[in-house]
Structure 1
Amino acid sequence: MSLSTQFYTMLSMIAMGSFFGASLDTYQRFLNRKNRKRLIVFVNDILFWIIMGLISFYVLFLVNYGELRFYLILALLCGFSAYQALLKKFYLRVLEAFIHFTKETIRLLYRLFITLIYSPIKWIVLFLIGAILFLSRVLLTLVKFIGKVLLWVLKVVFYPIKLIGKGLLHLIPKQVKEAFRKTYHVLEGYFNIIKNVLIRAFHFIKRMFRI
């Protein structure tokens, strides 16, 4: 490994140490250990360090094709220590400012969505529903009124016919009336027989399907 490669590798590992420190603070900020279950914290810790190890190996592979030396571990520790001593307070302030900015942006977008999209659509839908209900009531009332008027007209029109029919009914001989009555009773009997047969057949089919 050439001297320039070693130099670039040292700088990369120092940068990775600082990156470790910043990543660890970011991870601690979002994890909220006090309100998490131990199992979740344990799994998250393992995943975090696995990801950090993979990132470090990938950077090392890009710089010197993955050749690991003891002094590289010291470079990582130096980078981590430099972050803790010089950059941690500044980074935490930037992180909190970024989180605050993100929250306020999300709140603003939510309010804009409610004001410009959700509320207008809501009121338009409510207006349309109210208009449809109002028109339905008006049409129903109009149909009822027209129905009553037509019924009254039909009663007026058919009233003379009814009177004429009653008058003609009195003129029909009693023998003809009696013949009509007998015919009516006979037909009624046949219809009752057919009705009973159909009811029995229906119950029979119903019992078969239950089985």
Structure 2
Amino acid sequence: MTLSVQFLTMVSMIGGGLYLGMALETFRRFQKHWKENLFLVYFMEVSFWLTQVFILYFVLFQVNAGELRFYVFAACLLGFAAYQVFAANLYKRLLERMIIIIYRIYQFLRNVVNMLIIAPIRYMIKLLIAAVIFLFNLLILIVGFILKCIYIPLKWFFSMIYRLLPQKFKLFLHHLAGFYSKIQNICRKVLRYITAKRR
């Protein structure tokens, strides 16, 4: 390994240590969102560290074909320590500012989507439901009017026929109606008795 490659490796690993410090700070900032779920805590921890190892080794592979030496780990630790001493407080403030900006952008986009897409769709659905209910009520009124127009002449016609019937036949119809009413009452009582027994 030449001196230039060794120098590039040192610089890359110091930068990798700085990156690792920022990545760890970001990870710890969002850790509270899954801290209650033990399985998710282990999963996120393992995933985070595997990802960081892969990224750092990929950088190392690009610089010196992935050759590991003691000074590689020392340089990475030096970069991490430099981040903790010189850049940790600045990055924390910057991270909080970025989170606030991103959250405000998200709220703005959500309000825009709600105003331009979701609210009109809800209004159209309500309007459609109101139109369907109105048409249904109108149909009921029309059908009721048609039935009344049919019922009144039929009632008048049958009442005229009933007046022309002999008195004995009228009495027979009255007895028949009374018998039908009795049968109906008996059926209702039997049905109530059966349902009461089932309970």
Q: Which TM-score bucket, shorter chain as reference?
A: 0.7 to 0.9
Does 42-51 or 133-142 show the bigger shift?
42-51
Distance 1:39 1:152, change over 3 A: closer
Please list, as runs of the form range in 1=range in 2, the aligned pairs for 1:56-75 lying within 5 A after superposition.
56-75=56-75
How far apart are residue 151 of structure 1 and its match? Answer: 2.4
Structure 1 alignment gaps of length 5 or more: 168-211
Q: CA deviation at 1:46?
A: 3.3
**3-state SS, counterpart of residue 121 of structure 1:** helix
User: SS of 1:67's equivalent?
Assistant: coil
Q: Which residue of structure 2 aligns with residue 85 of structure 1?
A: 85
Instruction: Report what 2:172 is aligned to.
Output: none
What's 2:41 paired with?
Answer: 41
User: Which amino acid counterpart does residue 14 of structure 1 have in structure 2?
Assistant: I
Percent of paired sites with the same residue: 37
- Deviation for aligned residue 1:22: 0.6
Give the Cα–Cα distance (whole angstroms) in 2 for the partners of residues 14 and 52 of structure 1: 14
- Other structure's SS at 1:75 match: helix
Provide, for residues 149-199 of structure 1, a one-character-per-residue CA deviation record: whole Å limited to 9, x for no partner.
122234456777x48x959xxxxxxxxxxxxxxxxxxxxxxxxxxxxxxxx
Structure 1 residue 114 corresponds to structure 2 residue 117: no
Counterparts of 2:43 and 2:159, CA distance in 1: 91
**Is the Cα contact below 8 Å between 1:16 and 1:56 reproduced in 2?**
yes
Is the CA contact 2:16–2:76 (under 8 Å) kept in the aligned structure 1?
yes
Larger radius of gyration: 1
Conserved? CA contact 1:33–1:41, under 8 Å:
no
SS of 1:68's partner is: coil
Question: Normalization by structure 2: what TM-score?
Answer: 0.72
AA matched with 2:69: R
Deviates more, 1:105-114 or 1:5-14: 105-114
Q: 1:123 is matched with which residue? A: 123
* Paired letter, 1:151: Y
Which stretch of the first structure deviates more once superposed, 44-53 or 105-114?
44-53
Q: Which amino acid aligns with 2:86?
A: L
Decide whether aligned partners of structure 1 residues 74 and 120 sit closer, same or farther in structure 2, where only a CA change above 3 A counts.
Answer: same
- Please report the RMSD computed on the Cα atoms of aligned residues, expressed in angstroms: 2.7
- What's the TM-score once normalised by structure 1's chain length? 0.68
Answer whether contact 1:17 1:77 (CA < 8 A) is retained: yes
* Superposed displacement of residue 8, structure 1: 0.7
